[in-house]
Structure 1
Amino acid sequence: MLVIIGALVVLACVAGGYVLSHGHLLALWQPYEFLIIGGGAFGAFLTANSPKIVKASIMDTLGLFKGPKYKKQDYIDLLSLLYDIFSVIRKEGLLGLEAHIEDPKASSIFTAYPRLLREHHLVDFITDCLRLMVSGSMNAHELEPLLDYELETHHHEAEAPAHAVAKMADALPGFGIVAAVLGIVITMGSISGDTSAIGEHIAAALVGTFLGILLAYGFVGPLAAAMEGKVKEDSKAFECVKVALIANLRGYNPKVAVEFARKSLSSHARPTFLDLEAHLNGARG
């Protein structure tokens, strides 16, 4: 929602200031300038990126209008899932997890949280880490750097669409200059004609520069920043899992390990201790 509000504020302030300065809005309507700048930037975007990045950029842009992927209730479910996993480890040992991690969709632990079960990347991350713990007999010092490498790779891939859109934003002022130069070429071609027509051509050329800068810094650049911010926020779920697993390997009991994970969450999305405790008591009851 803030993406829409921000864009409207930019439009209202820029257009409003222009009109209040006795400018004419119709003078800014230059569809061919839009074609040159927008089409050129989008074409360069397609050239520079793989189909996977292009598709992910579109999906991430649409995702901004849906809000964060994981809300407070999702984090309560995630922490409860981790608690259930650690309880099985405490009662049955690591081997008691084998059936659950080999087929999460048939697991009584994972199927208790259908919303999380649909998050394939998160479930795969959890089960892969648990497989290492079951089969590799890894201690916390060995597992932690491995998880850091995996999270770094995940973050890099997840942020790639935002970086691609940011590069397109950087290119927009350049395409604005291209449009302006083409406008000057047209102006030079009609310099022997009507003086008023020359003025219109120069105005159109300057609009090209204006549009390139406005689109870059008023819309596309902030959009890329919002995409990157959403990726970082959504990645907190993976960080939460990592912290909980490391705490469990260090010998903390399930409640304390889950508390370590809860503390790693952003304050606005973090469930309170009492909320989580009530949920766990309700699940056990």
Structure 2
Amino acid sequence: MDVISLAGLLLAIVAIVGGQVLEGGHIASLIQPTAFMIVLGGTIGAVMLQSPWRTFVTGLRISMWVFKPPVPPLHELIEQIVGWSNIARREGLLSLENKMEGMTDPFMRKGVQLLVDGVEPEHIREVMEVEITTWETEMKQASKIWDAAGGYAPTVGILGAVMGLIHVMENLSDPAKLGSGIAVAFVATIYGVGSANLIFLPVAKKIQANIMRLVAVREMLLEGIVRIAHGDNPRIIESRLQGYII
């Protein structure tokens, strides 16, 4: 669990709601189902319109990375790679084939498979770098749905505000309906600007930060596999991989 993400979200909500209360306002005045439906529905619809289905679904799926980052413990991964190196030096590269049975990461499995197959180190690097670039591009495209939502939400909020004002103008002769129309108008703007700057854009940046960390992990894994293919000493491999730890 990424505690700072949860704490940041709670702090933002408490600050806004607390400010409303301190100013003498009521929390109930910030709850407008109509404005919420306009902003959320309009924003999601706009993002769906601009995104391929696979990209949209992936973007929703990786949003969980905000609270549960997928980055594995780097020290354990380095120990694993060094273990492969020791086995390869003692028993040969083919002995690593037994280690593939428990691998759930397709990237790791493919790298070790190329190692076992005796592919030249330079060719292993070329093949795996393409994998890294393709994966990084796909993930960054998926993360951009949150950037897009952060761009659309304020505009949709303004659209909701205009709709609320139109409702007010249509009911000038009925004072009882004026209050609800004005409330929807202003709250829709709050929802649009608030969701963009407190949720959508921060989520996009946090996902992109996790993508960068995962790319670094894959590059570290690739470096270890290539060094094993070159037959480097396990201690040298460990020393090189330690440089990836910040």
SS in 2 for 1:23: coil
What are the within-5 Å matches in structure 2 for residues 37-52 of structure 1?
A: 37-52=39-54
CA distance in structure 2 between the partners assigned to 1:253 and 1:45 by the alignment: 50
* 1:127 equivalenced with 2:112 (yes/no): yes
Please, which moves more after superposition, 55-64 or 17-26? 55-64
Q: How far, CA to CA, are the matches of 2:126 and 2:40 in structure 1?
A: 43
The residue correspondences of 1:69-84 to structure 2 (distance < 5 A) are 69-72=71-74, 75-76=75-76, 78-84=77-83
Q: Which has the higher contact order (CA 8 A, sep 6+)?
A: 2
Q: Does residue 194 of structure 2 align to residue 209 of structure 1?
A: no
Of 178, 203, 224, which aligns to 2:159? 178
- Between stretches 229-238 and 79-88, larger displacement belongs to 79-88
Would you say 1:5 and 2:7 are equivalent positions? yes
TM-score (norm 2): 0.85
Q: 2:181 is paired with a residue of what secondary structure? A: helix
2:138 paired residue number: 157
Structure 2, unaligned runs of 5 or more: none
Instruction: Tell me the residue number matched to 1:271.
Output: none
Deviation sequence 1:153-188 (CA, Å, 0-9, x none): 221122332111221121111110111111111111
In structure 1, how many angstroms separate the alpha carbons of the residues matched to 2:130 and 2:21?
53
Please name the residue that 1:276 is paired with.
none
The one-character-per-residue Cα deviations of 1:238-275 (angstroms, maximum 9, x if unpaired) are 1111222343455531221232122213x3xxxxxxxx
Q: How does 1:12-31 map to 2 (within 5 A)?
A: 12-31=14-33
Which residue is 2:173 aligned to?
192
Alignment match, 1:274: none
Structure 2 match to 1:277: none
Q: Secondary structure at the match of 2:232?
A: coil
1:252 aligns with 2:232: yes
Structure 1 residues 125, 263: CA separation in 2 closer, same or farther (over 3 Å shift)? farther
Aligned mates of 1:245, 1:127 — CA distance in 2: 7
RMSD over aligned Cα, in angstroms? 2.6
**Percent of aligned pairs with the same amino acid:** 21
Q: Structure 1 residues 71, 80: closer, same or farther in 2, change over 3 A?
A: closer
Pair 131,182 (structure 1): closer, same or farther in 2 beyond 3 Å: farther
Asked whether the equivalents of residues 161 and 188 of structure 2 are also in contact (C-alpha less than 8 Å), the reply is yes
Deviation per residue, 1:98-133 (Å, 9 max, x gap):
xx44xxxxx1x345xx4xx22x3232342354267x
Tell me, yes or no, if the aligned pair for 1:81 and 1:110 is still in contact at 8 Å: no
Report deviation, 1:11. 0.9
| 1:233 and 2:218 are equivalent in the alignment | no
Tell me the secondary structure at the aligned position of residue 25 of structure 2: coil
SS at 1:42's partner residue? helix
| Distance change (3 Å), C-alpha of 1:130 and 1:161 | same
Residue pair 2:55, 2:141 contacting (<8 A) in 1 also = yes
Provide the TM-score with structure 1 as the length reference. Answer: 0.74
Q: How far apart, CA to CA, are the structure 2 residues paired with 1:173 and 1:125? A: 44
Question: What residue is the counterpart of 1:282 in the other structure?
Answer: none
